[in-house]
Structure 1
Amino acid sequence: MGKIEWSMWANEQALVSSAVALLGGILAVAGQFKYWQLGAYAIAVSLLVAILEYPRGKRQKGHTVERKFQFCFTAVVRQGRLLTRNYFVRFVFYLVISVACCFHLSTLLGGLCFMITSVIYMVAAIKGEEWIPVEPVEDSSGPAVIPEPRKPPPRKPPPSPSNQL
C-alpha cells in the first residue's frame, strides 16, 4: 500500500472550506445580520485562503496535475517562503482563522471546515511534508524536425496493355 500524501487532501479541503466560508460570509453581509462584520471577515479570509491554496504542490511520487492558471498563484506562494511552505505554520493559521468564523451562525460551517483543514495540515506537518512548487518542464531537445520520407508516395498503377487499345 502506498504512502498517503496528507497535504493533497488538506489542499482540497482548504479550497472547499474557503468556498463554504465565502458563501456564509456573503449571506451574513447581504442579510445585514447582527455582527455582520464577522461575515465580512469570512469573505476576506476565504479569498486569502483561495489565493494561498489554489496552486497545488508537487507530489512526492508520481505526476502532479496542475490547476489551470496555477503558475500565477505559485509565484505569490513561493514569495512567502517559510510562512507559506511549512505545513505547521498553515496548521496554526487555519486554527486561528477558524475561531472568528465560529462566532456567527452563517459562517459556523466554514469555521468548522477550517478546523478540519487545520487538523489535516497538522498530520501532514508531523509526517514531514512540505509545499514544493511545481516547476514547468523545459524541453531541451530543440524544435521538432520531421524526417524526410524514405519511400515515394503511392502512385497509380501503370496502365495495362489491354487498356491501351
Structure 2
Amino acid sequence: MIVDPESWKRLGRVIRSERQRQGLSREQLAARSGASPKSIQTAEDGRVPRGRWPYTLDAIERGLGWDSGSVQEILAGGRPRPTADPANVESRVAEAAPVKEVVAKLSEAFDIGQWASDLGADPKARADYEEAARRMIETVSLDEIKRRYPGLISHVRIEKDGSVTDLSSPEPE
C-alpha cells in the first residue's frame, strides 16, 4: 500500500473535486456509494490509512463512476478512469448494497467504543468492549451470512477485527 502522505492528499483533492463537479454532497455520495459521509470526509482530508486498504475507497470509486483501480492510479500520480459504461455505475453500486450493510453494522460496533472514549470512558473499558466485539464477530456463522447475503462471500472477507476486505478489487501494490 502506498504510504506517501502527499499521494493521499492528492487523492483527497481529486475525490473532493470530482464529488463537487458532479454536484454531490457527501451524504449524496454516501447514499450512492455505500461509504459513510465520515469515510468520505476522511478520504477527502487525505489521511493515510492505518494498516490495510480501506474498503470504503473502492465504494467511493464506484460511487463517483470511476473504473476499478482508479484510486490506485491517482495514488501513483495518474488520473481516474471513468467507467466505460455509465449504466454500469448503478449496477456496481447496487451490487455493493449487501456489503454496505455488513460494513455499516461492523463499523457501528467499533464507533461506539470510539464515541465512549471521546466522552472520557476508561480506555481499558473501550479495549474490553472492542475485544468483545471481535469475539462476537468470530462467532458469526458463515452459513448465516451466506443465507442472508447471497453472493457476499465471493466479494468480501470479514476479518476478526471487523475490517472488511473487498476481494473483487486487486490488492494495491
Do Structure 1 and Structure 2 share a fold, with TM-score over 0.5? no
Q: Specify the TM-score bucket, using the shorter chain as the normaliser.
A: under 0.3
> Relative contact order, CA 8 A, sep 6+: which one is greater?
1
Give TM-score scaled by structure 2 length: 0.27
Indicate the structure (1 or 2) with the bigger Cα radius of gyration: 1
